[in-house]
Amino acid sequence: MSLFALLRRGRAAPPSTGRPHGFTMVEVLTVVVVVGTLARVGVPSFHEVLLKARATEVIADFETVRVAAFGYHADHLQWPADGYTGQVPSGLEKYLPENFSFEGLGYRLDWESWVLPDGLPGMTGVTAVVGISVVTQDRELGRALADVLGGAMAHYELGDTYTFVIESR
């Protein structure tokens, strides 16, 4: 007999087992526990990825300023003058990309250029230090920057300011 004939006669439906359809409470709770465990593992990882992405954005701005400062130094044989937090130092504008800002989402950059006539304490031969400070109230972002850049260059933290030394002489 053909399938069509069986369907017409009503015999194609499987016999009822008498068992209700759906999930038991144990099955639902098992799924909830598994999903909860995955979320507890995944959410911190996602947060870490977002934090590293933000740190990478700041580092890109940091590197842009560093390259511009070296260009300025090559042309003028001196470093740009110290500037205010969040403002491009005078003379550095033409070395930076158009519309470059020292202010980003949740952070500000600050160009540091210190002349030390008596030298650093304990290192009297070091009479000038230049660097870039990142000012942020997001301590996690500041620590991420210190983790990424700190191994490559001298740095220090003071409150919500994370300063990285580019050159000292």
Cα–Cα distance between 111 and 97 in angstroms, integer? Answer: 16
User: Which one-letter amino acid corresponds to residue 161?
Assistant: T
The pLDDT of residue 93 is 95
Average pLDDT of the residues in 55-77: 95
Asked whether the whole model's pTM tops 0.75, one would answer no
106, part of any domain: yes
Average pLDDT of the residues in 39-45: 76
- Tell me: pLDDT of 31 over 60: yes
Average pLDDT of the residues in 91-104: 96
Cα–Cα distance between 141 and 56 in angstroms, integer? Answer: 10
17, part of any domain: no
7, part of any domain: no
- Tell me: pLDDT of 64 over 60: yes
User: Which one-letter amino acid corresponds to residue 149?
Assistant: L
Tokens 């997001």 — which residue? 138
> How far from chain centre, in Å, is Cα 165?
20
- Tell me: pLDDT of 76 over 80: yes
Structural domain boundaries enclosing 69: 24-168
6, part of any domain: no
42, part of any domain: yes
68, part of any domain: yes
Average pLDDT of the residues in 29-44: 83
The pLDDT of residue 65 is 97
64, part of any domain: yes
- Tell me: pLDDT of 13 over 60: no
Detail the DSSP E strand segments found in the chain: 103-104, 107-115, 128-135, 155-158, 161-168
95, part of any domain: yes
Number of separate domains in the chain = 1
What's the token pair of residue 17? 């087992």
